[in-house]
């Protein structure tokens, strides 16, 4: 009897073990179906998108190239309005390029050079370059006239080059002292020098050349004052120091 009981217990234990094994195997298979696939699952057009990615938007680059090409062509024909458009683009390199083309075109043509200098000097938010300042100064020294003094100084100041401004100021002073600007008064020149000086950028004024320019400006003021004191009156007598300013205003 006890042997039968033992056998029954063993059979029950085997049956239970077999059932547990089947249950575990089933759960393992079910879990396997929930695992992610070994590669990314894509939609209907996923493979096509990967094989042929969308090209970058070239419209903006093409428009920029066309704009630059147009400006260069117009500048080569002497269209001064291209400066305003280049400045409005916010691209400093394009502005410098456009101004360089216009300046190159004016080489040997005093009328075109003066028109360019006048345009820059009178333009709103336009800037100059040391090259344009040098060309305007050379033109002024060939023919120093009163009307060109403000433009020559303005173009030099807008170049943000302290040395260029000092050269323009010195040329104007020299022409006045040599009698080639007899129609320009000392007070007028002093006012011009002071006003145009402040058009230089703060960086240019704070530079080493800017420091030298500030000292030169003080010397120029004294030179003009001394010149006026020594200037003979119609009677042939020098103007007294205290009466220089009054005589100049009269």
Q: What is the pLDDT of residues 171-197, one digit of tens each?
A: 999 999 898 988 888 889 999 999 999
Structure tokens at 60: 């903006």
At 240 the pLDDT is 45
Q: Between the CA atoms of 20, 21, 26 and 32, what dihedral angle is there, to the nearest 10 degrees?
A: 120
Neighbouring-strand partners of residue 232: 238
Beta bridge partners, 238, equal 232
Cβ-proximal residues to 95 (8 Å cutoff; 6+ apart), any chain: 83, 86, 87, 89, 127
Number of CB atoms found within 10 A of residue 222's CB: 9
Give 115-141 pLDDT, tens digit per residue.
Answer: 999 999 999 899 999 999 999 999 999
Residue 93 carries which DSSP code? H
Instruction: Name the residue ranges covered by the structural domains of the chain.
Output: 128-245
* pLDDT for residue 100 is more than 90: yes
- Its pTM stands at 0.68
pLDDT in tens, 194-245: 999 999 999 999 999 999 999 999 999 888 888 777 765 554 444 444 344 4
Give the model confidence (pLDDT) of 39-75 as tens digits: 344 333 344 444 555 555 556 667 789 999 999 999 9
pLDDT of residue 37: 44
What is the four-CA torsion angle of 199, 203, 207, 212, rounded to 10 degrees?
10
Over residues 91-113, the mean pLDDT reads: 96
Interatomic CA distance for residues 246 and 249, integer angstroms? 5
């Amino acid at each position: 009897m006890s042997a039968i009981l033992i056998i029954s217990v063993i059979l029950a234990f085997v049956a239970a073990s077999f059932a547990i094994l089947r249950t575990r195997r089933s759960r393992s298979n079910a879990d396997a179906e929930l695992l992610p696939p070994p590669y990314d699952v894509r939609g209907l057009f996923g493979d096509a998108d990967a094989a042929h990615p969308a090209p970058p938007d070239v419209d903006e680059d093409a428009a920029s190239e066309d704009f630059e090409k147009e400006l260069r062509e117009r500048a080569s024909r002497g269209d001064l309005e291209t400066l305003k458009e280049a400045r409005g683009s916010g691209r400093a390199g394009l502005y410098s390029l456009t101004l360089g083309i216009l300046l190159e075109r004016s080489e040997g043509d005093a009328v075109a050079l003066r028109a360019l200098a006048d345009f820059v000097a009178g333009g709103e938010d336009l800037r100059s370059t040391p090259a344009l300042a040098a060309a305007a100064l050379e033109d002024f020294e060939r023919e120093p006239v009163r009307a060109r003094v403000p433009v020559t100084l303005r173009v030099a100041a807008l170049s943000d080059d302290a040395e260029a401004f000092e050269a323009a100021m010195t040329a104007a002073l020299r022409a006045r002292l040599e009698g080639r600007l007899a129609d320009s008064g000392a007070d007028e020149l002093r006012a011009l020098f002071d006003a145009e000086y402040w058009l230089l950028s703060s960086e240019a004024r704070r530079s080493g050349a800017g420091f030298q320019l500030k000292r030169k400006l003080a010397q120029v003021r004294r030179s003009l004052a001394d010149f006026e004191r020594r200037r003979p009156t119609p009677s042939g007598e020098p103007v007294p120091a205290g009466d220089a300013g009054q005589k100049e205003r009269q």
